[in-house]
Amino acid sequence: MKKLVKLAIGSAIAALVTGCGPGSKSLFDGNTLDGWECDPQENASHWIVKEGGILVGENPDQEASMLWTRDAFKDYELELEYQTLTDDYDTGVFPRGEGHQVQIGISRSLKRDMTACIYAPKDEKGAYPGQTDKVEEFHKVGDWNHLRVIVQGKRLQTFLNGEPFVDYEGITINESGPIGLQLHGGVHMAVQFRNIKIREFSEED
């Protein structure tokens, strides 16, 4: 019995570390932007696909844009890899439509790197109610990074390069919504993404 318990615990820990496994699907096919849409549409040129299955976001006009999935999601595990290509960047992942954001890069308000922290001013607990002091240690600026986000109910968990970062219980978070990638306005930035995968949770999870 003890062996079975240890195996179960080990499997749970392994799942937390390794991320999306069986049942996951790709949100980005590596060749097109099928399944995605830009808001505003006039800034769709910010988002392109390049050889090697890379999704690139760049706004030389310093205008803001969001790239949204056409589908909405509720409870899931998301993982992706990203690489920043400019010294200044303010991007991130919106897990359920407008509202809560998993930050990637330098906060415009705090003037420091808040990668994998939760931006949620609507919760009225400060702009970044979910923070960590691990960013400088684990964020590989300019290199490829692995970001993992677990969304379950109102709970948001983030992991950067395999390290647990933030575990935050939202207040006003949407029950479901599309997943968005952001280019913040007011700064020329370039960032690229690859291996964007999602595993939706069933009621048993």
Tell me which of 122 and 12 has the higher pLDDT.
Answer: 122
Q: Indicate if the alpha-carbon torsion angle 139, 140, 142, 143 is positive or negative.
A: negative
* Domains of the chain listed by start with CATH number: 2-200 (2.60.120.560)
Residue 205 pLDDT class (50, 70, 90 cuts)? low
pLDDT value, residue 23: 84
pLDDT value, residue 204: 67
pLDDT value, residue 14: 42
Each residue's pLDDT tens digit, 2-25: 343 333 434 444 444 455 666 889
pLDDT of 46 strictly over 60: yes
- Kindly tell me the burial class for residue 8, based on how many C-beta atoms sit within 10 Å of its own C-beta (0-12, 13-18, 19 or more): exposed
Bridge partners, 57 (sequence order): 47, 191
Each residue's pLDDT tens digit, 54-93: 999 999 999 999 999 999 999 999 999 999 999 999 999 9
Give the separation between CA 122 and CA 189, rounded to whole angstroms. 26
pLDDT value, residue 143: 97
Supply the pTM of this predicted model.
Answer: 0.87
Residue with tokens 């992942």: 93
pLDDT of 183 strictly over 90: yes
Nearest to 162 by CA among 149, 150, 146: 146
pLDDT value, residue 15: 44
